[in-house]
Structure 1
Amino acid sequence: MSDCYYRRVGVDGQYQVFDSTDGTRSNWDPEIQHGSPPLALMTKLIEELAGDSGMRVGRLTLDILGAIPVARVRARAWIERPGARISLMVAEMSAIRPNGDWRTVARVTAWLLATSDTADAVTDRYPPLVEGESVQRAHALLGKQGYLETITWRRQHDSDQTGFVVWMSPLVPLVDSEPTTDLQRLAMVVDCANGAGAALDAERFVFMNTDTAVHLHRLPEGEDFAVRARGSIGPDGIGVTTAELFDRRGFIGTSAQTLLVQRRP
């Protein structure tokens, strides 16, 4: 198992340069990256850009613009819409084409909002989830090397019509031995909601997400996160996975993913 997702190489102008490790490899295709590591890396750049601005992330949206190779990548972040109370920040990741040109393969947009004291008005839509005993066979892709080796996957026995519950924890840092924030840890697993809430047999269908949108009414805490997810599949090869997100304290937000659904040959 890899000891991190990315190794820092250096700086190329406005870009930070990283080498992708085997831990980023997707369960769909070992030559491309799973969606969570790129989301987490670009989240890191956005958090660093935000610094001590007094604003925090309320929404993260990852758009996958092309196959993200397990190779050297570069990433940058900038402020798209500045503001004292509301700001839109963007990060993008690029990879090298066979002809040597760089191409943008993924982008994260983040709404950051000014924080204030609303402790007396806190409301949670759902009660906290308590982790119970896990099922013996966590998922149909056991034994796949790459990303799935870098997280624990604890599917719960009790699932109902509201969705399937899986608790997950990252096992490796994001970049080398650099500190990883709780928000980055959530980003390291949240793209898995598609697999957790799968409505199809992965041996018969491919259901790859093109995006992951995360809305957070509270910042995550800790290293353990649960998704209660369920996929909905349309009649024309397009689906959606929606999920509620939890940490040990309780409900923290929601996620949604658009799916391309295709039958395996």
Structure 2
Amino acid sequence: MTAFYEPLGSGRFAPTEHTAGPWSPDAQHFGPPSALLVRSLEEVPATRESRLARVTVEILGPAPLTELTVRARVERPGRSVELLSAELSAEDKVVARASAWRLVTSDSTEVIAGGAEPLPVPPERAGPADWPEHWLGADRGYLAATEWRSVRGSMVDPGPAAVWVRQRVALVGGEKPSPLQRLFAVADSGNGVSNYLDPRRWWFINTELTVHIQREPAGEWIGLDARTVVGPDGIGTATSELHDQGGQVATGAQALLVRPR
């Protein structure tokens, strides 16, 4: 298999072993399902030149390694601003919903401002990233289907970290992933990259992923510069600057449920 999903027709997809996450061999890492939802949102017809500006993925339950169905539609039409939605189902149970604002584009090149500088080490000079040895999938599943290179910090040690990531496999068999599909295949990894707690003792599970997009990324590599903040009441937030080699392209955030195992 050379893709996260094989198409079955009529919005149905068969996940491959490449989607399996580091917590359980029976549940997908939510990067590929998030990218699959974005793929469906991108396929919703538009009457004017427009682009997704914000996508929120609400995670309603684990995504099993069984047949999935994806559907998308326009929730609120408009000439300049539209609200789209999508659902991801397994065995007639909705496991994730996405909402997205699609905005009409215009030329704002002369007022570009505020983006973070490019990551200090390009992918070709960054060394291989290490994963905690007790995480599943360093040699299988999602972690093996994506290439990881370390820029600063470490996923073995607690605290903020920055990495470069690229897919080794397609999102859907027979297709080349779009720039935003590549972005969302990586964006859900912010809490793992910047893990602050020992995952053998603590859960830090994200219930959603929200990404605000300033521009579409160029190239195969996606940079993830992430940090996690944990509050006193079992709630945390992982935030990420998302990059291509030219600089910041988006900002991601995940709400975290934090509790002892």
| TM-score w.r.t. length of structure 1 | 0.89
> Is 1:256 paired with 2:253?
yes
Residue aligned with 2:191, SS: helix
Task: Confirm or deny: 8 A CA contact 2:152 2:163 kept in the other structure.
Answer: no
Please give the residue correspondences for 1:25-174 in structure 2 after superposition, counting only pairs within 5 Å.
Answer: 25-50=20-45, 53-96=48-91, 102-131=92-121, 133-134=125-126, 138-140=130-132, 141=135, 143=138, 145-157=140-152, 163-174=160-171
Larger mean Cα displacement after TM superposition, 68-77 or 232-241: 232-241
Unpaired stretches in structure 1, ≥5 consecutive residues: 97-101
Count residues in correspondence.
Answer: 252
Residue aligned with 1:66, SS: coil
Larger mean Cα displacement after TM superposition, 119-128 or 31-40: 119-128
Deviations for 1:198-255, whole angstroms, at most 9, x for unmatched residues? 1112232221111110001112111111111111112232211011111011111210
Q: Which amino acid aligns with 1:112?
A: R
Tell me what 1:243 maps to. 240
Distance 1:119 1:199, change over 3 A: same
Whole-angstrom CA distance in 1 between matches of 2:128 and 2:178: 30
Please give the residue correspondences for 1:13-28 in structure 2 after superposition, counting only pairs within 5 Å.
Answer: 16-28=11-23
Task: Confirm or deny: 8 A CA contact 2:128 2:148 kept in the other structure.
Answer: no
Whole-angstrom CA distance in 1 between matches of 2:210 and 2:142: 20
Larger mean Cα displacement after TM superposition, 246-255 or 120-129: 120-129
Distance 1:137 1:114, change over 3 A: closer
Distance 1:174 1:106, change over 3 A: same
Task: Confirm or deny: 8 A CA contact 2:153 2:160 kept in the other structure.
Answer: no
Q: Which amino acid aligns with 2:109?
A: A
Residue aligned with 2:44, SS: helix
| TM-score w.r.t. length of structure 2 | 0.91
Task: Confirm or deny: 8 A CA contact 2:115 2:247 kept in the other structure.
Answer: no
Distance 1:259 1:78, change over 3 A: same
Whole-angstrom CA distance in 2 between matches of 1:137 and 1:171: 15
> Is 1:8 paired with 2:7?
yes
- TM-superposed CA distance for 1:6, in Å, is 0.8
Larger mean Cα displacement after TM superposition, 65-74 or 231-240: 231-240
Tell me what 2:213 maps to. 216
- TM-superposed CA distance for 1:51, in Å, is 5.0
Task: Confirm or deny: 8 A CA contact 2:120 2:151 kept in the other structure.
Answer: no
- TM-superposed CA distance for 1:158, in Å, is 5.7
Residue aligned with 2:114, SS: coil
- TM-superposed CA distance for 1:135, in Å, is 5.3
- Of all paired residues, the percent bearing the same amino acid is 38
Distance 1:61 1:250, change over 3 A: same
Unpaired stretches in structure 2, ≥5 consecutive residues: none
Q: Which amino acid aligns with 1:156?
A: V
Cα RMSD for the two superposed structures:
1.8
Residue aligned with 1:18, SS: strand
